[in-house]
A = this chain, B = another copy of it.
Amino acid sequence: MALVNERTSAERPGIQKVVVVGAGFGGLAVAHGLDGVQVDVTVVDANNFHTFRPLLYQVATSGLSPADVAYPVRGIVSRHANLRFRHDEVTGVDWDRHLVVLASGAALPFDRLVVAAGAAVNDFGTPGVAEHGFPMYQLPDAVRLRNHIIGRFEVAEADPSVVDDGGLTFVVVGGGPTGVEVAGALIELIDKVLERDFRGSAVDVDRARVVLVEAADDLLPMFHPTSRRYTRRTLAGRGVEVRAGTTVTEVTASRVRLGDGAQIPTHTLVWAAGVRGAPLAEALGVPLGRGGRVPVDPDLRIPGHPEAFVVGDLAASGDGDGGLLPGVAQVAIQGGRHVARLIAREVDHRNADGNGAGGRGDVHEPFRYRDKGSMATIGRASAVAELGHGVRLKGFTAWVAWLGLHLVYLMGFRNRLMVFVNWAWNYLTWDRGARLILGAGEGDDTRPKRDASRQERTPPVG
Q: Given A89-B447, A154-B48, A200-B81, is A459 in contact with B437 using a C-beta cutoff of 8 Å?
A: no
Chain A: residues with Cβ within 8 Å of the partner, total of 73
Report A50-73 CB contacts with B as 1/0, cut-off 8 Å. 000000000000000111101110
A46 touches B444 (CB 8 A): yes
Which one of A137-145, A322-330, A334-342, A399-407 is at the B interface? A137-145
A86 touches B157 (CB 8 A): yes
Determine if A47 is an interface residue (Cβ-Cβ < 8 Å).
Answer: yes
Which chain B residues border A89 with CB–CB below 8 Å?
A: 444, 447
Determine if A201 is an interface residue (Cβ-Cβ < 8 Å).
Answer: yes
Determine if A368 is an interface residue (Cβ-Cβ < 8 Å).
Answer: no
Q: How many copies does the complex hold?
A: 2
Which chain B residues border A417 with CB–CB below 8 Å?
A: 421, 425
Q: Given A48-B437, A75-B197, A78-B199, is A447 in contact with B66 using a C-beta cutoff of 8 Å?
A: no
User: How far, in Å, is A416 (CB) from chain B's closest CB?
Assistant: 11
Which one of A122-130, A183-191, A282-290, A428-436 is at the B interface? A428-436
Determine if A158 is an interface residue (Cβ-Cβ < 8 Å).
Answer: yes
Which chain B residues border A157 with CB–CB below 8 Å?
A: 86-87
Report A154-196 CB contacts with B as 1/0, cut-off 8 Å. 1001110000000000000000000000000000000000001
Chain A contacts to B: CB under 8 angstroms = 1-2, 46-49, 65-68, 70-72, 74-75, 78, 81, 84-89, 103-106, 138-140, 143, 150, 154, 157-159, 196-201, 412, 414-415, 417-418, 421-422, 425, 429, 431, 433-444, 446-450, 459-462
